[in-house]
Amino acid sequence: MTTNTSMSSFIQKTSAIQKWSRRFFMAAAGSLAISAAAGLPAFAQDAEWQKVVEAGKKEGKLILYTALVGQPSTKQIAAAFTKEYGIEVEILEARASEIRERVRVEQAAGRFAADVMFTSEGQTMLYDKEDKSVDPLPVTPNSQKIGDKFKLKVPMASVMTIPYGIMINTGLVKPADEPKSWKDIADPKWQGKILSDDPRAIGAGYLWFFSTYDKIGEDYVKKVATQKLVFTRDQRESQRRTARGEYSIYMPVIMTDFSDLKGLPVKFIIPEEGVPYVLYGNVMLKKAPHPNAAKLYLDFMQGPVVQKIYAGLGYGPVLPGMTDGLPADVKAISEAKLYGTTDTTRQNEMLAKSKDIFK
């Protein structure tokens, strides 16, 4: 694979994913065949699962709602799923609050249109507690294999983590001056030079605030607040602005975007403390019209095929051992130490705190 060289454009990246997924799909299919042939008790309810597979194939269709907007990987995965099970996937994308309201209203009106929702851990809590629009999580073969910290209390089948770090403009920041950690952001030399995602509203900036407030402390956050941060709410455009030299630092940045910006004078830095992250996964929506296909999809997303696809893009996989053989830069991001994430139950309190600190 040559992802570490000049392959930065989107189209090339896509083809890389295709290659990756094809390779691992074959591997996965192979191992499945072997285990089936050998009749190993890999999964206690093998026969039961086989029934789900049959029923899912019979359903033939899956309606997927996703809150992760515009990601080419979504279609990639859907295609791989279709190839595996012959089940067509129809995808509806919208931003988190929009898609949540759609599901809520649809269910309230008795329209149970969607099977699976791909969303974040925090949103899942709302689906579960507020809207009561999700079903309990099914036990599937792969759900047993994922890392223990990704087995959640909320009914979400974890799939991957989105890591957030620091981005610098290499034209404006000398290598010696580069911030190495979240703490370095508080250095007065960056005053007025930091573009930041708005920490006062749900989003990346708030994620940074939440995790550093918890882990480093209020004093640190207050110190950063004196840095005259300039706030934005547009991730991708802010990366470009920083690249064009409006600001020296943009934070927190979605680390997986690094490959999209290859060729620009920017550097993505994994902070020493670790990367704040958002955990994404699938939930089963209530009265799903294709419940078995939904179970298959949940399982598939936690399987090696999809996990490899996400790891190859820099996301943190929930299945161990998926980063082997990745290019060094992707591997570093994909394996980056997870620093902390937000807690939905404390959201109102923390948002108020953020609004108070970053007036």
142 or 354: whose CB is closer to other proteins? 354
Could you give the CA distance from residue 10 to residue 259 in angstroms, rounded to a whole number? 8
Check if the beta carbon of residue 193 is closer than 8 Å to that of residue 179: no
Q: Helix (H, G, I), strand (E, B), or coil: what is residue 224? A: helix
Residue 235, interface with other proteins (CB under 8 A)?
yes
Could you give the CA distance from residue 185 to residue 9 in angstroms, rounded to a whole number? 30
Q: Helix (H, G, I), strand (E, B), or coil: what is residue 161? A: strand
Residue 71, interface with other proteins (CB under 8 A)?
yes
Could you give the CA distance from residue 137 to residue 56 in angstroms, rounded to a whole number? 16
Residue 225, interface with other proteins (CB under 8 A)?
no
66 or 142: whose CB is closer to other proteins? 66
Residue 181, interface with other proteins (CB under 8 A)?
no
In the complex, the smallest distance separating the C-beta of residue 98 from other proteins, rounded to whole angstroms, is: 5
Q: Candidates 44-52, 141-149, 238-246, 316-324: pick the segment binding other proteins (CB under 8 A).
A: 238-246
Q: Which amino acid is at 139?
A: V
Give the per-residue contact string, 328-347, with other proteins (x = CB under 8 A; - = no). Answer: ----------------x--x
Q: Which amino acid is at 355?
A: K
For residue 84, how many C-alpha atoms fall within 13 Å in the half-sphere facing its CB?
30
Residue 348, interface with other proteins (CB under 8 A)?
yes
In the complex, the smallest distance separating the C-beta of residue 94 from other proteins, rounded to whole angstroms, is: 5
Residue 287, interface with other proteins (CB under 8 A)?
no
Rg (C-alpha) for the chain, rounded Å, is 21
130: Cα separation from own chain's centroid: 23
From 244, 272, 325, 356, residue interacting with other proteins (rule: CB under 8 A):
244
239 or 307: whose CB is closer to other proteins? 239
Nearest to 170 by CA among 236, 247, 228: 247
From 2, 10, 50, 218, residue interacting with other proteins (rule: CB under 8 A):
10
294 or 319: whose CB is closer to other proteins? 294
203 or 327: whose CB is closer to other proteins? 203
2 or 144: whose CB is closer to other proteins? 2
Q: Which two tokens stand for residue 191?
A: 């005053």
115 or 299: whose CB is closer to other proteins? 115
242 or 302: whose CB is closer to other proteins? 242
Q: Which two tokens stand for residue 286?
A: 């209530």
Q: Helix (H, G, I), strand (E, B), or coil: what is residue 3? A: coil
In the complex, the smallest distance separating the C-beta of residue 178 from other proteins, rounded to whole angstroms, is: 20
Neighbours of 132 (CB within 10 A): 10
Residue 198, interface with other proteins (CB under 8 A)?
yes
Could you give the CA distance from residue 331 to residue 262 in angstroms, rounded to a whole number? 16
Task: Outline where DSSP puts E strands in 94-243.
Answer: 116-120, 157-169, 194-197, 230-232
Residues making contact with other proteins (CB under 8 A): 9-11, 63, 69-72, 90-98, 100-102, 104-111, 113, 126, 130-131, 198, 200-203, 230-237, 239-241, 243-247, 257, 260-261, 263-264, 344, 347-348, 351
